[in-house]
Amino acid sequence: MVRAIRLLAGLGVVLLVACAFEPQAPALRQAGSGAETGVVGGRPASESDDASADYPVRAFPTQTLYALLAAEMAGIRGDIDFSLRQYLEQARATGDPGVISRAAYIAEYAGDDRALAELGLLWVEQQPEDPQARELAAAGLARQGRLLEALPHAVFLLRQGSGQSIQLLTGSAARRPQAERDALLAAYDELAPAFPDSPDLLFGRALLRWQAGRVDEARELTERAVALQPDNPAGHLLFAQLLEESDLSAQALEHLELVLPRYSEDARLSRTYVRILLGRRDFARAVARLEPLVTAYPDNAVLRFGLALSYRGVDRPEAAREQLGRLVEDPELGGDAYFQLGQLADSAGHVERAIQYYRRVQGEHWLAATARAARLQVDSGEVAAARRYLAKSRSTHQEHLSTLLQIESELLMQLGEYRAARDLLDERLEEVPDSIELLYARSLAHEKLGDIAAVEADLRAILAMDADNASALNALGYSLTNHTDRYAEAQRLIERALALAPDDAAIIDSLGWVLYHRGQHEQALAELRRAAALLPDPEVAAHLGEVLWVMGKREQARSIWTEALEHFPDDPLIRETMQRLQVDS
């Protein structure tokens, strides 16, 4: 509400005098910023603004005045949609540049790109030589994806010496079909002879080629643009990215090292440098490169974080901990630092310390840290404490509620507490019966309890909401294979899943397994071998070994099982299979 009041406070002077004037309108900006700079009647206020300012004026009709007053009051109440409708109607009716610009900023604030484009064009119609009007038209049209319509306005601005809109179009082009991007690129290339030294046009042409996969051409154009505009960090960033994509990561690193001293506070350049450096997996070299940079720029948190990761890569945990300890209060990287500290403690077997670190993680890794902290507590026998922790996490992070419930139910099932897992999910599903994730999790608990009818009910409920859910199709087909003799139905379900995800090893395994149960051993063997090649998994190995054993290929079966047990010594399924088939170990 406060932001709405500040946004709509600026037109009061115009409304009180009931006049319109030829404004020197500000450039398009984040809507609402006018309140901070003192926008008066659609242009920035300055010390020269006073009651005697000489503006060309004409009276607003009474109906227009009341409509604009109603719009202002609606904005104060927070009804931005009504305010925009009123302003848009009056902008159309009056053609007044002050009303149009005011309406445009409200459209920007409301995120109404259609209105923004219309108002931009309306402003250009009234004042075709006004660069702000052109900028607004280009921005509104570009956001709607009307790139070729926006282009003339961007070219007008380019001729005036401003290339920002030329680059803006290329950003919008990334979301458009390739044919439209090709048309825009052709238009940009036609402009090149008229603007041979425009870095903005060069960057635009480079970006469009990059989007089309023409990396070498994009890199050459960007190199020319950077030479013309060496004080543009975004240009250096693009050039480094293009060098990396050209398999020239060494040159990318060298280029970034040249410009980092000038832009040591630019997090984008630092992040790209660290990412490329660590991506080469040469952590010893990364340490050698990052240590002097961190010494030179001790306040650069990104470089310091990269050094910490590099220390981990060369197995220097104490050095990594020292660097991470300096980052825990950083507003952007503090959560990542705590997560890394948790992993270091976890790897060293310091369970309590790891849990403490994981519980301090915020941001991107919060969910993974929460799951791992709960897992460590369960492994330590503190099941009740882990469940309390997850319950508290659900109350404070409602956006992750379903995932946290799945984590808890999975932990319970790993402990053999299948009823507790089912009861936990039952409670939540009473509130959100259409949660696909929770229905799927509950079907797993039902299967462990041997309630196959409930398994089928949950999975069919999912398919009723999402008929093409490959996971549910596969799970239902696999369950019917294992627990019923409805093999033909099971095979149809699995084949539907496979059509949706043809390279999914788990589904291929299910197909092989149902074919085996239908007595089609050769076809089953082919599918199971394909699944095993895609996914080293004990369940796939158990199935493949069983088919080989039944087909009389017993040495091959033993070999499959022996190798799988070397990789998964704690998995019970292979040993259960061997016992059921009375295989001598």
Last residue of a domain, one of 82, 109, 144: 144
Last residue of a domain, one of 125, 144, 163: 144
Task: Specify the pTM.
Answer: 0.69
- Maximum pairwise Cα distance, the chain: 104
| CA–CA gap between residue 582 and residue 577 (Å, rounded) | 8
| CA–CA gap between residue 415 and residue 396 (Å, rounded) | 26
State yes or no: pLDDT of 133 exceeds 90: no
Residue percentage of the chain with pLDDT more than 90: 63
Q: Which of 21-25, 66-70, 84-88 has the lowest mean pLDDT?
A: 21-25
- Read off φ and ψ for residue 437, nearest 5 degrees: -65, -45
Q: Which of 139, 212, 210 is nearest to 180 (CA)?
A: 212
Tell me if 180 sits within 8 A of 186, measured CB to CB.
no
Residue 225 makes CB contacts below 8 A (sequence gap 6+) with 199, 202, 203, 206, 232, 235
* pLDDT score for 9: 39
> Each residue of 405-440: pLDDT tens digit?
999 999 999 999 999 999 999 999 998 899 999 999
- Read off φ and ψ for residue 43, nearest 5 degrees: -135, 155
> Each residue of 287-340: pLDDT tens digit?
999 999 999 999 999 999 999 999 999 999 999 999 999 999 999 999 999 999
Q: Which of 205, 210, 208 is nearest to 221 (CA)?
A: 205
282 dihedral zone (left: phi>0; alpha: psi -120 to 50; beta) = beta
- Read off φ and ψ for residue 394, nearest 5 degrees: -65, -35
Residue 121 lies in a domain: yes
State yes or no: pLDDT of 21 exceeds 70: no
- Beta bridge partner(s), residue 59: 19
Beta strands in 276-323 (DSSP E): none
Tell me if 339 sits within 8 A of 361, measured CB to CB.
yes
Q: What sign has the CA pseudo-torsion 456, 460, 466, 469? A: positive
State yes or no: pLDDT of 49 exceeds 90: no
| CA–CA gap between residue 505 and residue 521 (Å, rounded) | 18
Distances (CA, A) of 483 to 19, 479, 514: 81, 6, 11
The CATH number given to whatever domain includes residue 69 is: 1.25.40
At which residue do the structure tokens 């010893």 appear?
A: 284
State yes or no: pLDDT of 66 exceeds 50: yes
> Each residue of 495-529: pLDDT tens digit?
999 999 999 999 999 999 999 999 999 999 999 99
Q: How many domains, in total, are found in the chain?
A: 2
Residue 70 lies in a domain: yes
Give the pLDDT band of residue 59 (cuts 50, 70, 90). low
* CA-based R_g, the chain, Å: 32
Residue 4 lies in a domain: yes
> Each residue of 102-124: pLDDT tens digit?
888 888 888 888 888 888 889 88
Q: Which of 252, 256, 254, 279 is nearest to 267 (CA)?
A: 256
Give the pLDDT band of residue 243 (cuts 50, 70, 90). very high
| CA–CA gap between residue 297 and residue 259 (Å, rounded) | 13
| CA–CA gap between residue 446 and residue 208 (Å, rounded) | 53
Residue 16 lies in a domain: yes
Residue 529 lies in a domain: no
Residue 391 lies in a domain: no
* pLDDT score for 55: 31
Last residue of a domain, one of 144, 164, 197: 144
Residue 48 lies in a domain: yes
Q: Strand, helix or coil at 174?
A: coil
- Looking at every residue in the chain, the average pLDDT score rounds to 86
Domain that holds residue 65: 1-144
Q: Which two tokens stand for residue 184?
A: 């825009």
- Compute the C-alpha angle 149/155/160, nearest 5°: 145
Residue 156 lies in a domain: no
